[in-house]
Amino acid sequence: RKEVEQDPGPFNVPEGATVAFNCTYSNSASQSFFWYRQDCRKEPKLLMSVYSSGNEDGRFTAQLNRASQYISLLIRDSKLSDSATYLCVVNRAAGNNRKLIWGLGTSLAVNP
Amino acid sequence: DAGITQSPRYKITETGRQVTLMCHQTWSHSYMFWYRQDLGHGLRLIYYSAAADITDKGEVPDGYVVSRSKTENFPLTLESATRSQTSVYFCASSELAGGSRNEQFFGPGTRLTVL
């Protein structure tokens, strides 16, 4: 079993739809969590960190469920520009970026 | 404001040749990283550096060498390239290793093909 697992998709949704992705992690010692976005043939960019209490940034909401060991990303009112691959990232050790484990990503296509 | 740059952006080489990929950042970030990204695998850490003259192995260091004589540069050398090293290589930097300032900023990547 991979340490970080994501549904690869693709998720095809119309503009304006709400879409949610989940990511499961296997190591209960994991300390911090992130969602990165990667456009086709481009570098990953941080979308948002995921806090224990959940956090929201505009149309994006991230949540953490430590008991079930998953994090989620909700995108409301999808835009064409949201089309990308969303990477789930788990940091196994607090304060140590060497321990980042990257998921394979979930592909999202937002259609007009 | 150049940020983090990589060169070359594309490289084709032959098995057995030595190849050096360059990475330069203008933020004076302490931490720098080299990843490779392949189909079927997430980003995998090759080497990282916490400061000038301090480097350490990541998940897949075999066949690679790094150095960091200056804070802003972190070159990656493939001493004798193999076909299995065909990949997209990303360099990244971060201000700190922990806390709210551990976001990693990535360069645009180098697409390396080993024939």
Strands A70-75 and A19-25: antiparallel
Q: Which of B35, B55, B104, B110 to mutate to test the interface with A (most CBs of A within 10 A)?
A: B104
Model pLDDT, residue A27: 85
Compute chain A's Rg from CA coordinates.
13
**Which residue among B94, B97, B108 places its CB closest to the CB of A43?**
B108
pLDDT tens for each residue of chain B, 115 residues long: 569 999 999 999 999 999 999 999 999 899 999 999 998 888 999 999 999 999 999 989 999 999 999 999 999 999 999 999 999 999 999 887 655 557 889 999 999 999 9
Asked if A105 and A86 count as a contact pair (C-beta separation under 8 A), the reply is yes
Residue B111 structure tokens: 């697409």
* B100 close contact with A: CB closer than 8 A: yes
A33's CB contacts (< 8 A; 6+ apart) are A25, A49, A50, A62, A64, A71, A88, A89, A90, A91
Distances (CA, A) of A38 to A10, A13, A45, B49: 14, 18, 6, 24
Q: What number of residues does chain A have?
A: 112
Model pLDDT, residue A53: 86
Separation of alpha carbons A70 and A100, rounded Å = 16
Phi/psi for B80 (5° steps) reads -150, 95
Model pLDDT, residue A44: 96
A103's CB contacts (< 8 A; 6+ apart) are A2, A4, A5, A6, A23, A87, A88, A89, A90, B42
Other C-beta atoms lying within 10 Å of the C-beta of residue B113: 14
How many Cα atoms occupy the beta-carbon half-sphere of A28 within 13 Å?
Answer: 2
Model pLDDT, residue A31: 79
pLDDT in tens, B62-84: 999 999 999 999 999 999 999 99
Separation of alpha carbons A2 and B11, rounded Å = 31
Compute chain B's Rg from CA coordinates.
13
Contact check, Cβ <8 Å, A87/B99: no
Contact check, Cβ <8 Å, A44/B43: yes
Separation of alpha carbons B95 and B108, rounded Å = 18
Pick the residue from chain B with its C-alpha nearest to A105.
B42
pLDDT tens for each residue of chain A, 112 residues long: 788 999 998 999 999 999 999 999 998 888 789 999 999 989 999 999 898 888 999 999 999 999 999 999 999 999 999 999 999 998 876 555 567 889 999 999 999 9
